[in-house]
Chain A
Amino acid sequence: MKHDYLDKYSSLDSVLHKLDPRTKIVCLFSAVIVVISEPRGETTAFLFYYLILAALLLASRIPVSFLLKRCLIASPFILMAALMLPVSFLLGGESASGNLNIGVFVFSLSILLKAYAAIFLLVLLTSTDKFHRLLKGMRRMHLPNILTMMSALMYRYIFIINDERLKTNRARDSRSPGRFRSGCIKVYGNQTAKIFLRSWKRAQTVYQSMLSRGFKGDFPEFFRLQFKLPDMVFAVIMLVCFVVVRVFI
């Protein structure tokens, strides 16, 4: 089955796609730090941050609709957090003391701007490179082996387990077409348990096959990562832009 939500735009040909994954990891993480370090209530600087992000999006050739979909997925929790402060003032009685003023709403707006800017940067990072290249970049940056190995195996197993999920969904729906299943906890519990057991056994078989083919705890590397001049230029320009906005605006 096809799971194109992973690595969907990682094969495009753009300036960002050609960069070394380590460059992107360092630059985009640094940019997230700069953005979230903005003081609470700050909104003006975000106009400039979003201009930089728009330029990066243009350079990456990733469709705006894809970015918006990603933002939409993450929206419920962000919106809940942004609304939390005014709601707290109303429910907690602080409004009676006159604290519910325009500043509360500006605070909420700055939370929204920060959170979406961070998501924007994450989408740029993960959509402009293949996941296994990002993992390799992280390994080269000395991320603990347990994390990178587990991530690499997880990335492989996800497709297997998601196929199992879709198969069991189909089986469940074909046995009770159109029925409202609210309250059928047993059905969902058994389905989840079945997915787990099948995947568990499948994962063990896959691992045994890997061992029999000489797997020794690390995946073979079929490509080399190289930090070149364009990486240096990109890193300097991007970081200078973000730091200038943070310091002077």
Chain B
Amino acid sequence: MHIADGIISTEVVLAADVISIGALYAFGKKTDADDIPKMGMMAAALFVASLIHFPVAGTSVHLGLFGLAGILLGLRSFPVVFVALLFQSLIFQHGGILSIGLNALNMGAGAIAAYLLWRVSGIPEFVRAFTAGFFGIMVPALFMAVEFNLSGYGRGIFYLLYVYVIVAVIEGLLTLTIVKFFRRVESPILP
């Protein structure tokens, strides 16, 4: 899901970068100085979580935890995702440096979608937790497919969405397990 430089057309990358910078400003400007360490920790946790590989059908997938970031941090999850991606790009070359806005837009949108779903009232918590994890992956996958399509790659990328549905179900179940664990052990951490 980490798009490298040179893959998506320059116009799409620039547009996404502009949107991401705007979102970064909008969601980051009201951040309290005391919240920055918490956000830095969450960015580090997102980074380390991506190192946990989960065995699936002879291969492995890694966690994204964008849904969990959305649940725990709300709108501030966007700057957190941005920094985690910046770090991944610089240290591991996961995603390009000029495509940072594009990747942040995709994955940040997943976190924001998860936050909005988590806030919906009248739905049991376990359903909200699962859908937050599920859409934390599906929204970025959908955005990515649209960007590939706009860059002239044809419709092939949309077939890949079927694979992401499996990953999103796993992520949804993991997010549900994590939320249940938090509720049992450290309830105040959940908003």
Contact = CB atoms under 8 A, between A and B. Distances in A.
B36 interface: yes
A92 B43 contact: no
Interface string B159-191: 110000000001001111110111001100100
Interface residues of B, number: 71
A147 B86 contact: yes
Contacts of A173: none
B87 A151 contact: yes
| Majority SS at the chain B contact face | helix
A110 B118 CA distance: 42
B156 interface: yes
A225 interface: no
Interface in A53-90: 70-71, 73-74, 77-78, 80-81, 84-85, 87-90
B41 interface: yes
A175 interface: no
A144 interface: yes
A138 B63 CA distance: 29
A150 B43 contact: yes
Given A81-B7, A151-B86, A157-B40, A6 B91 contact: yes
Interface of B: 1-7, 10, 24, 28, 31, 33, 36-41, 43-45, 47-49, 51-52, 54-57, 63, 65, 68, 79-80, 82-84, 86-87, 89-94, 96-98, 148, 152-157, 159-160, 170, 173-178, 180-182, 185-186, 189
